[in-house]
Structures are given as structure tokens and as C-alpha cells.
């Protein structure tokens, strides 16, 4: 049996209990596994600090943890020493993160947290997949030059030949499970199950992981609230 499993996990948004349950109980991660996370670890949900602590702790314990940056992490970084951008971050759910970390602004974060956010990658390539938070800009010759689109884009337009006939795997756009399942057979696989939107929008409220060797979905309904 092949023990080298590869998981990609969708947007968490401070839903720590759900994340912990998904990884430790449902998937039962091992150190031989490779784990990719699609960004948006913070904001809106109740436990942003616990999510970041958990990811840092797993990495420290020797798990193969690979995290891309989402628009919410970028908003946090942009807000440091910039009041206007701080207000934009507040508008996008920062209050929950500030409360979780017991701080008033991002610059008060300790160095280990700032280092975590600053060292997030824009994308990863794993075999036949490009793993990125939002998407890629196929209107330019080299989509890997447009980092803003990697974080913010929601366009379904994909030209596989431009990226070595690879598929995109993205988060960013909350999607019901039926749409996520359908996307597994397209050039843009969508894995944001809208975990933090439980009870707000029909069909959302799930944290989703995809195992790339078997293309098996693991679905964990929100248990944080």
C-alpha cells in the first residue's frame, strides 16, 4: 500500500476545531504524508491564533507542511504600519483575528508569527498540479509573474498548455460540495468549502481536503460553532 499520501486543504478561516478534527481524526495524518494548505488561515472564524499555532507545531514536529498565502494573510501584512490598509483588513474580518491573538494591530504580533506570514509561498507545483490560493492570470505570457492574481483571482479561465498541462488547485471562492466534486474533473479544482460560512449560506460550512493520488475528498463539517 502506498503510504505517501498528498493532501491539499481548503480555506480554514480560524476554524481550528474543524481543522484539528479533519487532520487528526478523519485523515489521521502521518509524517510520511505531504500536506498543502490553500491560504486564508485567519479572519472571520473564532480561533485564528490556534490555527497558526497548530500549523507551526505540526511543522516543528516534522510533518511536511506547505502553506500558500491567501488574500487574508496579504491583508494582514499590508496593514502593518498602514492605517488605510488596516481599515480594509478590518472590513474583511480582521476583528476575529485581532481578538484571537489579543492584539490591536498586526505589528504587535510576535516575530515567530510575522515570520510565518512573511514566508508563505505564492504557489507550489506538485506533479501535475499548481497549488495556489486564488488562480492564475492567463491573459499574460507568464502567469507565474502575476502574484496579485494568485491571491485574488476568481476567474475560471485556464489554459493548461501554458502551465505544462497541469491542473490548478485553488481555494478562495466558497463552493458547495457538489460544485467541488464537479470541479475534480475540470482544469480548476476548487477546494474552499466555505467552512466559516456555516449557517449563513446554503451548501457551505465544510472544511475540505483532497488526496491527490486517489482524488478522494475528505469533508469535515464545521464543528467550531
Strand 206-211 to 216-221 pairing? antiparallel
Note the pLDDT tens digit of each residue in 97-137. Answer: 999 999 999 999 999 999 999 999 999 999 999 999 999 99
Quick check: 218 and 10 in contact, CB under 8 A? Answer: no
Any domain includes 151: yes
| Max Cα distance, the chain (Å) | 54
Any domain includes 93: yes
d(CA 56, CA 53): 5
DSSP lists the bridge partners of residue 129 as 126, 167
As for how many domains the chain has, the answer is 1
Any domain includes 1: no
Note the pLDDT tens digit of each residue in 151-187. Answer: 999 988 999 999 999 999 999 999 999 999 999 999 9
Q: Which of 44, 48, 62 is nearest to 19 (CA)?
A: 48
Q: Tell me, what CATH number does 109's domain have?
A: 3.60.21.10
Q: How far is CA 127 from its chain centroid?
A: 19
Any domain includes 197: yes
Domain extent, residue 33, equals 6-221
Any domain includes 132: yes
Strand 206-211 to 129-132 pairing? unpaired
Cell of residue 16, nine digits: 481550528
Amino acid at each position: 500500500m502506498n503510504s505517501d499520501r498528498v493532501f491539499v486543504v481548503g480555506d480554514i478561516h480560524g476554524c481550528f476545531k474543524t481543522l484539528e478534527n479533519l487532520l487528526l481524526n478523519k485523515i489521521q495524518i502521518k509524517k510520511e504524508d505531504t500536506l498543502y494548505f490553500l491560504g486564508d488561515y485567519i479572519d472571520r472564524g473564532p480561533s485564528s491564533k490556534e490555527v497558526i499555532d497548530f500549523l507551526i507545531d505540526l511543522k516543528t514536529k516534522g510533518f511536511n507542511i506547505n502553506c500558500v498565502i491567501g488574500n487574508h494573510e496579504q491583508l494582514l501584512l499590508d496593514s502593518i504600519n498602514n492605517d488605510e490598509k488596516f481599515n480594509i483588513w478590518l472590513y474583511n474580518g480582521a476583528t476575529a483575528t485581532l481578538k484571537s491573538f489579543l492584539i490591536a494591530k498586526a505589528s504587535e504580533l510576535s516575530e515567530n508569527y510575522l515570520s510565518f506570514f512573511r514566508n508563505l509561498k505564492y504557489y507550489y507545483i506538485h506533479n501535475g498540479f499548481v497549488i495556489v490560493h486564488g488562480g492564475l492570470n492567463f491573459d499574460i505570457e507568464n502567469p507565474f509573474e502575476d502574484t496579485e492574481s494568485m491571491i485574488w483571482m476568481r476567474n475560471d479561465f485556464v489554459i493548461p498548455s501554458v502551465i505544462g498541462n497541469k491542473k490548478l488547485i485553488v481555494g478562495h471562492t466558497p463552493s458547495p460540495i457538489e460544485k467541488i466534486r464537479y470541479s475534480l474533473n475540470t482544469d480548476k479544482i476548487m477546494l474552499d468549502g466555505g467552512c466559516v460560512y456555516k449557517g449563513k449560506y446554503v451548501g457551505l460550512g465544510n472544511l475540505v481536503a483532497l488526496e491527490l493520488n486517489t482524488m478522494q475528498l475528505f469533508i469535515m463539517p464545521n464543528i467550531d460553532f
